[in-house]
Amino acid sequence: MKPTHYFAILIRLFAIGLVIYSARQSSFLIELLREGSVQGYELSFTFALVSTLLPFVVAVLLWFFPLTVSRFVIRPELDQSFKPIATQDLLTVLVLAIGVYVFYFTISDAVYWITLWQMSQDSYTEADLYLGNDSKAAMVTTVIEFFIAAGLLLRARTLSAMILRFTR
């Protein structure tokens, strides 16, 4: 198997995680349809629909086209057939796995904070939503998580080479 095949397996696992996340996120949509609001807060139907369906659509695309995504992320010179996997290639796949893991939580945190922010900006509700310093710090942390995940996914080979140099 090539590194693209290993990464395609991780992409499929990520797609399963996105479907689970989309199912959890659908509670907003169901409550909005039943009650007309989410825990007393007015929420745009379009926003609730997009935040539920977008992860599901991305998961379906990732499920059916994992090799296409994998070939886009992993460069052709890294995608060589091999008998035993080389140390740097294995480390690259592990760094990519960590990147996918961090990216999953970044997406779920971002959707949560965007939903909360959108609910706090709504002028139709009378309830006040308090976004304290801890909430703002968590939002900044989500942005930092995104940059870490992007760095791990886009520079996996470079990071694995650096890790190998540090260990020798």
Q: What is the pLDDT along the chain (168 residues), one digit of tens a residue?
A: 777 888 888 899 999 999 998 988 888 888 888 888 777 777 778 888 888 899 999 999 999 998 888 888 877 776 666 667 778 888 999 999 999 999 999 999 998 888 877 777 765 556 566 677 888 888 899 999 999 999 999 999 999 999 888 887
Phi, psi (rounded to 5 degrees) for 112: -60, -50
Residue 83's CB: how many other CB atoms inside 10 A? 4
Tokens (6 digits) for 16: 């399963």
DSSP secondary structure letter of residue 77: T
pTM over 0.85: no
